[in-house]
Amino acid sequence: MISVQPVPMNTVMLSDNTDSPDRLSRWPEVFVVPTFSYEVEYTLKEGNCTFEKEGKSLILTRDQKHNILEGMAAEIYKLKAYPSGEQIRKASEALVTKHLCLRERGSKTGYDGWKNSLCFKMGNYRTKLSRAGVKDVAVNAGKRSKSNPEASASRSSIKRPRRGEVNFLPNYPSGENKDILETLRLAMVEEFKKTTAERNMILIHQHMQRTFALRREEIVNSTSPIADLKERWPALFGEAQLYSEFHRITNQNLPFSFFAGLDKYTQQLLQLYKKKRTGIFGEKMANLLRAYAEQVRLMYNVLNIGVSFSICVNILTFVHQDKNDKRSKSSSFGWPTTLLERRLISSLQELQGT
DNA sequence: CGTAGAGCCATATACCGCTA
DNA sequence: TAGCGGTATATGGCTCTACG
């Protein structure tokens, strides 16, 4: 069972200071096609008119196609250095949806060719960026080949970007270098030698933000044991910073997404519990529901924002009713009725109704 | 106008992690 | 452990540009 200690929303959590690229959003539901060069935009505008009138697709010159692919690649790279096939498919679909004249007649979807071209383009684009020294792609480049047989094999001893790791290996923030960031790291280690009451948590949070690139570099490039990591980055193992770091890497709020995921299974959980309330299983379920309810209540109370309404209502009202049922049978469920609880249930039900 | 060089797209191949 | 899928890299072919 996780213990939720929410991160105050007025922290700097959403403003990563990680340079190049600032991946502050996850892959969108609908990919936003960028604006291309003036010449290409004009040609597309004309082409779209012709397509609407005569149904003719546009024939692009080499440079025009290059401009489109380059623009698309740059836009995709802002979101992810290594997009999945599905993500490239979505981008291609968005492209031919916005510019109907780019729809291919030969393919079933109308964008199979674009998808293929974008796949290759992303590969070439990564090579280009890697040669320019962009870290999150350069880390995987320069591996063994016919001309370079002595080099280590690709993908060996390297932590690859996982699904959801949108900020895999960011460059240092502009104006910062390793020495400056190392000084900040040491300052944090010093802070952690103080007592909890004396510790400057605001300073630690700010330093953790600034040193994100350095930390990622250490984690991605070296396979340091956890003990070393704990020694070098003690703040990382605190609950608030753990959530913040997760957010910095994936742009996702860990506790919220956990509860959102759990939300889907609430009904089944409750039905399961209703069917079997006795024995060890029933006891475990009761404990589980109580703990969830407590966490949800805590989150709602502290953050005062509406997350996971249905789970709140489902669990809290259920536990509340269940407790009353049990009481009527002179068996305490062990759940204290508080003003807060009653206020919360009614306010959640109100919100649910709106 | 012919040619060399550069840049780009696309293909082939090797390698590695993941999974059934 | 074999097969699959994803990635890096080398390279071929094409087009464009600069230059003599």
Separation of alpha carbons A83 and A329, rounded Å = 58
**Using an 8 Å Cβ cutoff, are A297 and A340 in contact?**
yes
Question: How does pLDDT run across A107-123, given as a tens digit for each residue?
Answer: 667 787 787 778 777 77
pLDDT at residue A281 greater than cutoff 90? no
Instruction: Report the range out of A99-108, A225-234, A248-257 with the highest average pLDDT.
Output: A225-234
Residue A185 lies in a domain: yes
Sign of the dihedral defined by the CA atoms of residues A178, A180, A181, A187, in that order: positive
pLDDT at A146 over 50: no
Residues A238 and A304 in one domain: no
Assess if residue A145 is contained within a domain: no
CA distance A308 to A314: 10
- CA atoms of A62 and A43, how far apart (whole Å): 13
| Pair A348, A316: CB distance under 8 Å | yes
Q: What is the pLDDT of residues A182-192, one digit of tens each?
A: 999 999 999 99
Interval A162-207: pLDDT, tens: 555 656 667 777 788 889 999 999 999 999 999 888 889 889 999 9
Same domain, A211 and A193: yes
Range name among A39-43, A289-293, A333-337 with the lowest pLDDT average: A333-337
- CA atom of A70 to C1′ atom of B3, Å: 29
User: In the predicted model, what is the mean pLDDT of residues A293-300?
Assistant: 60
Instruction: Look at residue A132 and tell me if it is in a domain.
Output: yes
Burial label, A268 (beta-carbon count in 10 A; 0-12, 13-18, 19+): exposed
Spanning CA of A128 to C1' of C10, the rounded length in angstroms is: 15
pLDDT score of A174: 76
Residues A203, A182 share a domain: yes
CA of A129 to C1' of B3 (A): 31
Are A276 and A203 in a shared domain? Answer: no
Distance CA A24, CA A27 (A): 10
Q: Does residue A134 sit in the same domain as residue A210?
A: no
* CA-to-CA dists, residue A121 to A32, A114, A115, A178, A312, angstroms: 18, 10, 10, 32, 46
Q: Cα–Cα distance between A249 and A229 in angstroms, integer? A: 17
CA of A81: nucleotide with nearest C1': C7
Contact call for residues A83 and A122 (beta carbons, < 8 A)? yes
Domain annotation covers residue A150: no
Q: State the pLDDT at residue A296.
A: 61
Residue A78 beta carbon within 7 A of nucleic strand B: no
What are the phi and psi torsion angles at A76 (to 5°)?
Answer: -65, -40
The whole-number Å distance from A150's CA to B14's C1' is 14
CA neighbor of A270 nearest in space, from A326, A205, A314: A314
List, for residues A6-31, the tens digit of each pLDDT value: 333 333 232 333 344 555 556 677 78
The tokens for A43 are 């040609």
Cα separation, A342 vs A354, whole angstroms = 19
Residue A260: pLDDT band with limits 50, 70, 90: low
Chain C: bases < 7 Å from a protein Cβ: 5-11, 15-17
Within-domain flag for A146: no
A159 inside domain? no
Q: Are residues A189 and A224 in the same domain?
A: yes
Nearest nucleotide to A61 (CA to C1') is C15
Q: Residue A167 CA to nucleotide C17 C1', Å?
A: 39
Q: Is the CB of A337 under 7 A from strand B?
A: no
Q: Say whether the CB atom of A223 is under 7 angstroms from strand B.
A: no
Residue A310 above 50 pLDDT? no
Nearest CA-CA partner of A246 in A184, A345, A179, A166 = A166
Same domain, residue pair A51 and A132? yes
Name which residue leads in pLDDT, A20 or A253: A253
Single residue among A263, A284, A312 that ends a domain in this structure: A263
Domain with A113 in it: 38-138
Q: State which of A263, A295, A321 marks the end of a domain.
A: A263
**Helix residue ranges per DSSP H, A80-156:** 85-98, 112-132, 135-138
Write phi, then psi, for A186 (nearest 5 degrees). -65, -35
Q: Is A99 helix (H, G, I), strand (E, B) or coil?
A: coil
The separation, in Å, between residue A124 CA and nucleotide C6 C1' comes to: 15
Residue nearest to nucleotide B14 (CA to C1'): A145
Residue A284 lies in a domain: yes
Same-domain check for residues A243 and A279: no
Q: What total number of domains does chain A contain?
A: 3
Distance CA A12, CA A206 (A): 8
Asked if residue A33 has pLDDT above 70, the reply is yes
| A228-237, Cβ contacts within 8 angstroms, sequence gap of 24 or more | A231/A189, A232/A185, A232/A189, A233/A185, A233/A188, A234/A188, A234/A189, A234/A192, A235/A188, A235/A191, A235/A192, A235/A204, A235/A207, A235/A208, A236/A208
Neighbours of A334 (CB within 10 A): 10
Residue A192, domain member (yes or no): yes
Mean pLDDT of A290-304: 58
**pLDDT category, A87, cuts 50, 70, 90?**
confident
Query: Burial, A239: exposed, middle or buried (Cβ in 10 Å; 0-12, 13-18, 19+)?
Result: middle
Task: Please identify, among A231, A246, A263, the residue that sits at the C-terminal boundary of a domain.
Answer: A263
Q: Is A184:A210 a contact under the CB 8 Å cutoff?
A: yes
Based on the fold, state whether residues A275 and A259 are members of the same structural domain.
no
